[in-house]
Amino acid sequence: MYSPKIKNTSTFARAFIFILLWFCAAGLVFAQKADVVLSIEDAVSLAKQNNLSIKTSQNVLKNLETKNKFSWNSISPTANISGSYTDDFENDSKSIGISGSVNIGLSTNLFTAINNAKLNYEKGVLSYDEAVRQVELSVRKAYYNILYEKENLELKKRSLETSRIQFQNNQEKFRNGIISELDAFTSQVNYESKKPDVESAEITLQNELASFKQLLGISQDVEISLTGSLDDVLKLKAVTRDSLPASGVPAPDVQAAEYDVRIAKNALLSDRFSAYAPSITGSYTYGKSKEIDGDDWSTTNRLSVGVAIPLDGYLPWSSKAVSIDGSKNDLDTAEKKLEDAKTSVAVKTENYLRKINQAVSQLSSLQSNVELAEKTYKMTLTAYNYGKTDLTSLQNANDAVLNAGVSLKSQANTLISTILDLEDLLGLKFGTLGK
């Protein structure tokens, strides 16, 4: 009596499970293609985790760390064990032997070798931090550039839409005999001519997004969208030398040059040790040997210590003396490069400050240009509708709105890019001056 209901229930259950599985599968597909919304800090975090150049720099730093950790290994003793078998055909005798030896060498270069490994590792840490900063700088610049390309595309689409509406209105006016066929055709050409510009902007945006994904180390299949707007940049104020935050350390370029000086000084000291300081060697050997037909073993038990004092360093034409002169020149070059780095940082800082403040002052006038262009277009459109102006004036007014908007966004992008360059130059945390 109840069997048909049981059968129907089973069928319904199978159908329900099938539908549930279908929705799960569809959800997985949707999840794979869902947009990933990134703030600028999210993008920086992703790049630090996935960027290949950062991972490569990590390997370089690990090598320097290992060399620094075991920089004392030049004094580590070397040991070996050897065995021998001898067959003297002339005297018809055979012998065997086994021996072991330990050797050690000690030179005054040990100090400079350890110090050199330490300095190179510390500079390697600085270079790694700078590599990470360069990736972050690239991410932030690319992020704002994508925002610019996106807004540039929107401005061009808006201009295209305005031209399309003008074209449609003029077609209607032509059919009603209000305007000439030439004006109707001109508006059509103006509309069609703007399509390639929009397509080009779309391609540029897609290319920027593809490069950005590569920089972040994420798959090209992931669809991403960015938060924020260049409108935030329009609120930035001028930056002066006095308003720059104080830093307890020199700029990264100056720090790197300072390490080069310290490394050059250490190299000069190492060459002097090699030319004038003594070195000590020691070895100990113990071994047993005997003739195969004999019963007695002979023993080798020997310790030797030697001291070598170099003298050719005092000869001005010797290779060691020449090496010392070369190291002196290298040190002088490193010191001059340090002074040049300090001067270069100061000059670049002033250049960036002037460029930033010029951009800030221009933003105000560019914003006014946008407002003026929009008002002019509205007034020209009204005049055109009443037959008080020609189509060319209306098209020029529309183009002026587009050009003013693009110029404003381009200047905003230039401003934030210059601020990022200044922060990178001074070693400031990114975003310090862009608040």
The confidence band for 20, taking pLDDT boundaries of 50, 70 and 90, is very low
* Cα–Cα dist 404/426, whole Å: 33
Mean of pLDDT values over 182-205:
91
Give tens-digit pLDDT for 286-344: 888 877 777 778 888 888 887 878 877 777 888 888 888 998 999 999 999 999 999 99
pLDDT computed for residue 25 by the predictor? 39
pLDDT computed for residue 352 by the predictor? 94
Mean pLDDT of the chain: 84
The confidence band for 435, taking pLDDT boundaries of 50, 70 and 90, is low
The confidence band for 34, taking pLDDT boundaries of 50, 70 and 90, is very low
Answer whether 0.75 is exceeded by the pTM: yes
377: its two tokens: 């277009």
Mean of pLDDT values over 268-280:
84
pLDDT computed for residue 256 by the predictor? 94
CB 331 within 8 A of CB 390: no
The confidence band for 18, taking pLDDT boundaries of 50, 70 and 90, is very low
Q: 288 exposed, middle or buried (CB, 10 Å; 0-12, 13-18, 19+)? A: middle
Sign of the CA dihedral running 20, 26, 28, 34:
negative
Angle at 335 between CA 249 and CA 349, to 5 degrees: 45
* Concatenated DSSP letters of 2-49: -HHHHHHHHHHHHHHHHHHHHHHHHHHHHHHHS-EEE-HHHHHHHHHH
Region of poorest pLDDT, from 10-24, 131-145, 225-239, 380-394: 10-24
Give tens-digit pLDDT for 59-69: 998 998 888 88
pLDDT computed for residue 76 by the predictor? 66
CA dihedral 122, 125, 129, 134 (to 10 degrees): 90
pLDDT computed for residue 434 by the predictor? 65
242: its two tokens: 């006095």
User: How far apart, in Å, are the Cα atoms of 19 and each of 15, 22, 25, 26, 34?
Assistant: 6, 5, 10, 10, 22
Q: State whether residue 77 is helix, strand or coil.
A: coil
CB 131 within 8 A of CB 54: yes
